[in-house]
Chain A
Amino acid sequence: MNALRLALVGAPNCGKSTLFNGLTGGRAKAANYPGVTVETRSGHFTTPAGRPIDLMDLPGIYGLNAQSADERVALEVLQGRMAGKEKPQGLIVLIDAALLRTHLHTVLQFQSLGYPMVVVLNMFDLAERDGMQIDVAKLEASLGVPVIPTVSTRKAGREAFLRRLDAEIEKWAEIEPVAQDTQTLRQTQQAARKMAAEAILFEPPMNRITRGIDQVVMHPLAGPLVLLTILFLMFQAVYSWAEPFMEAIEAGAAHIGAFVGASVTLPWLHDLLVDGVIAGVGSVLVFLPQIIILFIFILSLEASGYMARAAVMMDELMLRVGLNGRAFIPLLSSFACAIPGIMAARSIDSERDRLTTILVAPLMTCSARLPVYTLIIGAFIPPETIGLFNQQGLVLFGLYIAGIFSAIIIAFVLKRTATRGSSQTLILELPTYKLPTPRDFFLNLWMRIWAFLKRAGTIILSTSVVLWFLARYPTSATSLKESYAGMIGSWLEKVLAPIGFNLEISIALVPGMAAREVAVGALGTVYAVQGGEENTAGLADVLQSAWSMPTALAFLAWYVFAPQCFATLATARRETNSWRWTAFMFGYLFSLAYIMAGLTYHLASALGL
């Protein structure tokens, strides 16, 4: 039996993805469509009657008047205009039962596409708990399609839904959708409001808990304080909570290294495995705990409904620097990694604002810069306290601030030059506060972890091996300068010497193009420190004697700006769908890195540091 293609559609935040994960068991495949900037997820399941279903989860849309990139994708799929994606054969239209009055017109709009469909009155339990009373049979009669009240977070709710679905979809495969004449939006709304008024027997005022929380969270004074506290907590957690786990991973990698070192006797293979593979990949895996903690925070903020509020609070500030309030979320995610940040920019409906956000996202200090910063700060900045603050901590904080301020200035300049001329809108619905659904939460977290591990296993593994080879061969080489890596590096050194970089740095920056954290491992390898980055204290000592203070500071300044991450550039290319903008991003970031590192070097030298 051919699988029936169904699509989940509905307003943002009505529980589509929860239903999707519940039905497909979360076995979602994120699919990239070439030339298209967005992912739609599809999954597969079988109904109780044994019908195979291909289910698509589409980005949330309020109607057929799509504006932002993710909304356009949903619309293109529904209208069968998406290349490489077959039109669905039927729709499962979701609507938050508690918002029936305000959102019912979205259902009517989807109905006008002519697909066979069922309507899911989702989160029916929450609406009932609020005191909402809905005459489902009446709604069904006026819509003329099945209306199924469901709680998609519960198994029983999904099973009841599937039994109804089974009864309805029997003939769907044979139906050829015929789009109806579209009414004006105003007419659709009036029809929907009339149906809703008839079907809603009792409608209580807004959710009390949400109102209560918002009295504090949205307060003009308390609100920003809450936001700052949450951000402060988040960065604290990333640094302090992660530490024991990071030490455990380091120790684990050292054990594996020692074990492999003892059992592999073939010299070149021994070196390759210990210095190349285990040291290289291990140095990156160490940052997994920090990434997990950061994403736990970000995902909780998203799932609870707080993120939308943070975006609203930041809107005016962001607007004044030339960004959009919705850019706050992508930029916050960029502190973990610019890649999810750049992808999250899809929700910004103005193309120009989205572009500006993508262009400045790499300036947010991502977690991959931490190993670089930590190494250099540890080696060169004395751990003295100034007043209440630790000097090393201050420098680290300063580097974060440097990134944020540059982003603000650059966004400001871009909005007045390259990305000028956009009509900006906010128009953002603030969801009712909800506890995150554990299943969705862990699935999302796992997807982030898996992406990180995959990167460590592919890009970082391969660059480690290649660098190890380049630095060790040809066998005739008696010094680093004569190795392949040295030949490449000495060419680069000519360019980098004016900003205080030496041959070793020049070499390390080449594999460091793949990912920022690779530079730490690369420095370890080129300085031929036993155990490389496994023993950062050792590397720090070597750097202390090999580098001058101005060089170290210039290196830090370089890393605030340098776009040393292929994956980010590739993501920017895919999301902007433009080589020109990607080249622009690459160019402006490298120019800034060069200028700022040079300034730092000469200023520090002049000051006699």
Chain B
Amino acid sequence: MITLDQVKTGERFRVVGFSETNPALVARLREIGFAEEDEVELLYTGPLARRPLCFRLNRTMIALRLDEAIAIEVESWT
């Protein structure tokens, strides 16, 4: 298991859980659509210091900062 800030582009991952440290952030991530078993993939990174990160979540695109992506735990899709 790794956190979403560590993934490379072009690989598919499955959301397996969320960090317990910041419940408000997790609530926010869940509301915008992240949930267990969802498919995520890193699509693009920002022009400066490769931040922020743009993910595909199922069929939608969501941009996260590094410290937001860190709260999402994923595993390789296959």
Contact = CB atoms under 8 A, between A and B. Distances in A.
Interface of A: 62-63, 65, 67, 98-99, 101-103, 105-106, 185-186, 189-190, 193, 203-207, 210, 214, 218-221, 223-224, 308, 312-313, 315-317, 319-320, 325, 424-430
30 contacts: A62-B32, A98-B59, A99-B58, A101-B58, A101-B59, A102-B60, A186-B36, A189-B36, A193-B35, A218-B43, A220-B45, A220-B50, A223-B47, A308-B63, A312-B52, A312-B63, A313-B47, A315-B65, A316-B46, A316-B47, A316-B48, A316-B51, A316-B52, A426-B64, A427-B28, A427-B62, A427-B64, A428-B62, A429-B32, A429-B33
A551 to B, nearest CB: 41
B28 A102 contact: no
Given A102-B33, A425-B68, A430-B63, A313 B46 contact: yes
Interface of B: 25, 27-33, 35-38, 43-52, 54, 56-65, 68
- Those 9 A-B pairs whose CB atoms lie nearest each other, nearest first: A102-B33, A430-B61, A62-B31, A218-B44, A316-B48, A63-B31, A189-B35, A312-B63, A316-B51
Given A67-B28, A190-B36, A102 B57 contact: yes
B29 to A, nearest CB: 7
B58 A185 contact: no
Contacts of B38: 102
Given A193-B35, A193-B37, A425-B68, A206 B52 contact: no
Nearest to B56: A206
A96 to B, nearest CB: 9
B62 A429 contact: yes
B30 A189 contact: yes
Given A220-B46, A316-B48, A206 B59 contact: yes
- Main secondary structure on chain A at its contact with chain B? helix
A424 B22 CA distance: 13
B31 A99 contact: no
Contacts of A204: 59
Contacts of B58: 99, 101-102
Given A224-B47, A312-B52, A426 B31 contact: no
Given A205-B59, A206-B59, A430-B62, A185 B47 contact: no
Contacts of B64: 426-427
A427 B49 contact: no
Given A220-B47, A313-B46, A426-B52, A185 B31 contact: yes
Nearest to A103: B33
A495 B25 CA distance: 51
A315 B49 contact: no
Contacts of B68: 425-427
A218 B56 CA distance: 13
Given A426-B52, A429-B33, 15 more contacts: A102-B57, A105-B30, A105-B35, A186-B30, A186-B35, A193-B35, A193-B37, A220-B45, A220-B47, A220-B50, A320-B48, A325-B52, A425-B65, A427-B62, A429-B63
Given A190-B36, A430-B61, A315 B28 contact: no
Contacts of B52: 312, 315-316, 325, 426
Most chain A beta-carbon neighbours within 10 Å: one of B29, B35, B47, B49:
B47
A214 B44 contact: yes
B8 to A, nearest CB: 15
A542 B43 CA distance: 60
Nearest to A61: B31
A430 B49 contact: no
Contacts of A103: 33, 60
A307 to B, nearest CB: 13
B58 to A, nearest CB: 5
A325 B61 CA distance: 16
Contact of A430 (B30, B35, B54, B65): B54
A353 B24 CA distance: 18
Contacts of B33: 62, 99, 102-103, 105, 429
A312 B46 contact: yes
A214 B43 contact: yes
A223 B5 CA distance: 21
A320 to B, nearest CB: 8
A312 B31 contact: no
Contacts of B44: 214, 218-220
B63 A315 contact: yes
Contacts of B45: 220
Most chain B beta-carbon neighbours within 10 Å: one of A63, A101, A203:
A101
A200 to B, nearest CB: 10
